[in-house]
Structure 1
Amino acid sequence: MAFPKAVLFDLDGTLLDSAPDMLAAVNAMRSARGQSGMPLEALRPHVSKGARAMVAAAFPQVEAAEREAWIPEFLDHYQRELGRHGTPFEGIETMLSALEAAGCTWGIVTNKPEYLAQQLIPLLGWEQRCAVLIGGDTLPERKPHPLPLTVAAERIGVAPQQCIYVGDDERDILAARAAGMPSVVALWGYRLTEDDPFAWQGDVMIETPEALAAPEAWPATA
């Protein structure tokens, strides 16, 4: 068994437990409106769904149109909290080191705005290790569209069929399938109670990052 030639990862909920940073951002917004803090457990399942989902979870009583106008405020708060509370999931560094030792190239494809992802990567010490970074606004399309994955593969010089995508949300698996890229469902990530990762039909489902430090855990590539 061998590691894949290249791996692309989702960021929030896959590589990074960023929920504590997101919580600080929404609670700053709640405090400004005279509301008490939201518990981490209530926000965590929404993190992989993006800023709008998190603001909706924090302010369910507010109309969607009004919440939409609050997204820039959320992003401003989040930028100030960036990397202050969140950390890579346990086992991520072990996995990345195993990939690198095997000569595997890895990169990140996230729906997080590119400017935030670019600021975050150095805080994690990954700026020299991450071979490509595609954000949610880097290209005209974002996940679940396959374009971010196919462009990332092109930039690292690997055919999509020889690359594997790892993510914790259904749109990650949909994007990988549409790109012709094998996929790994990261079960350690963020999910709503009603989410059914079995229904996403990823190529493999993995419980912990440490499991991916073994080459036999990865799906086969073309």
Structure 2
Amino acid sequence: MTRDDADELAAVVYDLDGTLVRLDVDWEAVDAGLVALLEREGVDTDPLTMWEHLDAAEEAGVGDEADELVAEAEREGAENSRRLELADALTDREIPVGVCSLNHESAVRIALDRHDLTRHVESVVGRGTVPERKPHPRPLLAAIEELGVEPENVLFVGDSASDEKTAERAGTKFEWVE
């Protein structure tokens, strides 16, 4: 990003896990729980990824149960999360700041509270805030709408290809966490 780009920014939206904090979640155990739930429902889970398991659970009619299984692990992981270096930059921003995460909104809020970041964030969108999940643009656009700015004047900062794809689809600038 050039200096000129930075001067025209109206807001910054951050991803959460891997960007501002590191949730203490055993993702393999969470995925195993999702697999067990889906197998109970007779759903073939091979070769699905964890997030695809959530989609399959929704299609099998057990989406709420699956989402709660993941959300519970995320909330516990948020309580024991570790603050990352970029969180300090968030507190120094003079423009509106939001968070858009694939993690459940309740876990995002716990992590922000735990690391004294809540008062620096004006918009929080997590899984469950809107029906769609990243890389669909709707979660990021919901955060941007709440900040009252235009997508083309927003920088989305994240740590994954999914975050980059979300930014592209939403029409924002994107920056990888260093």
Check whether the contact 1:9–1:108 (CA below 8 A) recurs between aligned residues. yes
Alpha carbons of structure 1 residues 162 and 16: separation in structure 2 relative to 1, 3 Å:
same
Q: C-alpha separation between the residues in 2 aligned to 1:148 and 1:184?
A: 17
Q: C-alpha separation between the residues in 2 aligned to 1:91 and 1:120?
A: 14
Partner residue in 2 for 1:65: 38
1:9 CA displacement: 0.6
Alpha carbons of structure 1 residues 127 and 6: separation in structure 2 relative to 1, 3 Å:
same
Q: C-alpha separation between the residues in 2 aligned to 1:178 and 1:115?
A: 25
Partner residue in 2 for 1:179: 170
Letter in 2 for 1:134: V
Alignment of 1:91-130 (within 5 A): 91-93=86-88, 95-99=89-93, 103-130=94-121
Q: Deviations over 1:58-98 (max 9, x none)?
A: 99xx66823868844454344345322x21213431x1233
Partner residue in 2 for 1:144: 135
1:124 CA displacement: 1.5
Where structure 1 has 5 or more consecutive residues not aligned to the other structure, the ranges are 30-50, 187-206, 208-222
Q: Could you tell me the TM-score, scaled by structure 2's length?
A: 0.71
Alpha carbons of structure 1 residues 77 and 15: separation in structure 2 relative to 1, 3 Å:
closer
Partner residue in 2 for 1:201: none
Check whether the contact 1:142–1:148 (CA below 8 A) recurs between aligned residues. yes
Check whether the contact 2:155–2:172 (CA below 8 A) recurs between aligned residues. yes
Check whether the contact 1:108–1:132 (CA below 8 A) recurs between aligned residues. yes
The answer to which structure has the higher strand fraction is 2
Partner residue in 1 for 2:83: 88
Identity %: 28
Where structure 2 has 5 or more consecutive residues not aligned to the other structure, the ranges are 40-44, 46-52, 58-64
Check whether the contact 1:114–1:135 (CA below 8 A) recurs between aligned residues. yes
Check whether the contact 1:111–1:137 (CA below 8 A) recurs between aligned residues. no
Partner residue in 2 for 1:131: 122
Name the count of aligned residue pairs: 150
Q: C-alpha separation between the residues in 2 aligned to 1:112 and 1:123?
A: 15
Letter in 1 for 2:25: M
Q: Deviations over 1:113-140 (max 9, x none)?
A: 1122223321121221111000111112
Q: Could you tell me the TM-score, scaled by structure 1's length?
A: 0.58
Partner residue in 1 for 2:60: none
